[in-house]
Amino acid sequence: MQNDVVPPSSQALAAQFVTITEEEAGQRIDNYLLRVCKGVPKSHIYRILRSGEVRVNKGRIDQLYRLEQGDLVRIPPIRVAEKTSSAAVPGAEFKIVHEDNHLLVIDKPAGVAVHGGSGVSYGVIEQLRAARPEAKFLELVHRLDRETSGLLLLAKKRSALTNLHDQMREGHTDKRYLTAVSGNWVNKRQHVKLPLHKYTTPDGERRVVVQAGGMESHTVFSLLRKWEEFALLEAELKTGRTHQIRVHLASSGFPILGDEKYGDFALNKQLQKATETRGALRRMFLHAHKITFTHPDSGAKMTLQAPLPAECDRFLVSLGQPVG
């Protein structure tokens, strides 16, 4: 029985039968269909589920049914409108920090989105899938902002994805970031607990603001080096909210250098050109440099690190001797 089913298209108008593999087991049938029937409206997926056209082991099921290994799924013929212009995703590999049968950990460069959407045609996950067509399963464990560089975890098995999500939800992972900020940072160690509210602007841009009643958020900052106008900090995430580090710092009066969304825009423009006393910085200075977690299969404690990118390192060197 062929397990790797081709998503239904206008060229495939016969019912298809798929045997569920070990990696596909555990998903709800609606989520499985949404994934394999790319381009089919969600409303249509739920209609064929309600109508009984989708069968599992020749019987009717509802949308909450969880697939089991060996289940035989009947997918009815579905027409998908052909896209007139769909550019192929170029395959790409990224610097690998760790890889085994369960995990892939890469050092993501700044300026690359982790996935397509919001005006981005494709991201890291789509490029890796294109570069590894033999990979049966490859999913993002977490996300990094487009302009943030550093450690990005991907799961190569569904069991690993579920396990790591559980660890993150229960606070059993430790994520550390390096960031350079503007201002006279004083405290060696500082806790910032500011509630964050996420919203979308009329043009579809995701934004976050400190607001009473927002999501509880907690970041711990440690001072690593200090200059007259800047400071290098390590940020430890206690919660994992969207743009958390960026908004916590900006709201505390210490914007991240090069942050085009929450930063000091006039300063960012100045930083793009080198001066006699410092080098140029043409990116946001935020880098996911260390993560600690439990391996989802072996149970071993793992700590992975990614060195500061060369452009960030050069900028710090150009600042000269720290004052603290």
What is the residue extent of each domain of the chain?
16-75, 95-158, 171-318
**Cα–Cα distance, 61 to 55 (Å, whole number):** 7
Predicted TM-score (pTM) of this structure = 0.77
With beta carbons less than 8 A apart as the criterion, state whether 203 and 118 touch: no
Q: What is the pLDDT of residue 163?
A: 94
The percent helix, strand, coil of the chain (3-state, each to 5) is 20, 30, 55
Which superfamily is assigned to 16-75 in CATH? RNA-binding S4 domain (3.10.290.10)
Q: What is the pLDDT of residue 147?
A: 96
Closest CA to 246 of 186, 184, 177: 177
The CATH architecture of the domain made up of 171-318 is 2-Layer Sandwich (3.30)
| CATH class for the domain made up of 95-158 | alpha beta
Burial class (CB within 10 angstroms; exposed 0-12, middle 13-18, buried 19+) of 301:
exposed
**Cα–Cα distance, 181 to 245 (Å, whole number):** 11
pLDDT in tens, 107-147: 999 999 998 765 677 899 999 999 999 988 899 999 999 99
Q: Which of 4, 62, 100, 145 is catalytic?
A: 145
Q: What is the pLDDT of residue 80?
A: 57
- Ranges of residues in the chain with a pLDDT under 70 are 1-13, 79-87, 117-119
Catalytic residue check, 145:
yes
Q: What is the pLDDT of residue 204?
A: 74
DSSP-assigned beta bridge partners for residue 198: 208
